[in-house]
Amino acid sequence: MGIVCNLRRAAAATGLIAAAALVSTSAFAAGDAKHAEEQDWHFEGIFGTVDKASAQRGLQVYLEVCSGCHSLKQVAYRNLSDLGFTEAEIKAIAADYDVTDGPNDEGEMFERPAIASDAFVSPFPNNEAAQASNNGALPPDLSLQVKAHAGGANYIYALLSGYEDAPVGKDVPNGLSYNPFFPGELIAMPAPLAEDGVEYSDGTVASVDQMAWDVVNFMQWAAEPEMEQRKKMGFKVVLFLIILSAILYAAKRKMWSNLDH
């Protein structure tokens, strides 16, 4: 993938500004939001699977744009092997971040580079520090956000790609942006994605729609990394029950065939 050690420093001011407004259900909630259109996601349906190429690009968007203020506490770096990353790539991604560990032999806590078994390192040491850096808003952890909204992936994709100029007559106070998909249409997070905001290592054009699509695919995987295994197991169980039902029905017919009904 070519995602290497200086990605954390590459998280620009845009990423640092991206705060709790992304997933807040309370801020500026007056009025109705525009309905997010249904998208044709690769992971939907009983046979849906993870679009690994898109999710890999989504990781890059997360690291370079979102990780400046949003954590991913429920995912460990080693889980990235499920997306096709090699051990060396995972170690390189993790090593760019420091974690507090300890105590050591002297009873002191110390800093060390993150390793594959660590969870994704949070951008702030605690909630108070996160709020202080984001005008009082607490940036939510993104691990389960796709599952946290009624609109799921469709809502987050529409929100990230739906920023536009406010219509004539719509007053947008300083510090807010207009997004018709956000409840109340006024959102405290400026548009986090910009054309060519990242440079994809696979040559994909980094349009706003593409980056939004990719990061949503990554967030979907993060929220449900066991999805493919669950669907495969579910299909096997259903198939077993169908076969078992057929066998039981045939046995019943055979058993009662000689009786006068």
Domain boundaries defined on the chain:
7-225, 226-261
| pLDDT at position 222 | 94
Token digits of residue 240: 């077993």
| pLDDT at position 230 | 85
| pLDDT at position 261 | 59
Omega before residue 123 within 30° of 0, cis? no
Q: Tell me if 217 sits within 8 A of 58, measured CB to CB.
A: yes
Tens digit of each residue's pLDDT (9 = 90 or more) over 176-193: 889 999 988 888 788 899
Work out the pLDDT band at 260, boundaries 50, 70, 90.
low
Q: How far is the C-alpha of 77 from the C-alpha of 116, rounded, in Å?
A: 5
Distance from the Cα of residue 34 to its chain's centroid: 22
Contacts of 230 (CB under 8 A, 6+ apart): 224
Which of the given ranges, 6-10, 67-71, 116-120, 149-153, has the highest pLDDT on average? 116-120
pLDDT of 116 > 50? The answer is yes
Which of the given ranges, 15-29, 51-65, 128-142, has the highest pLDDT on average? 51-65
Ranges 17-21, 62-66, 123-127, 210-214: which has the least confidence: 17-21
Tens digit of each residue's pLDDT (9 = 90 or more) over 73-108: 999 999 999 999 999 999 999 999 998 888 888 888
Q: Domain 7-225 is in which class?
A: mainly alpha
pLDDT of 135 > 80? The answer is no
pTM over cut 0.75: yes
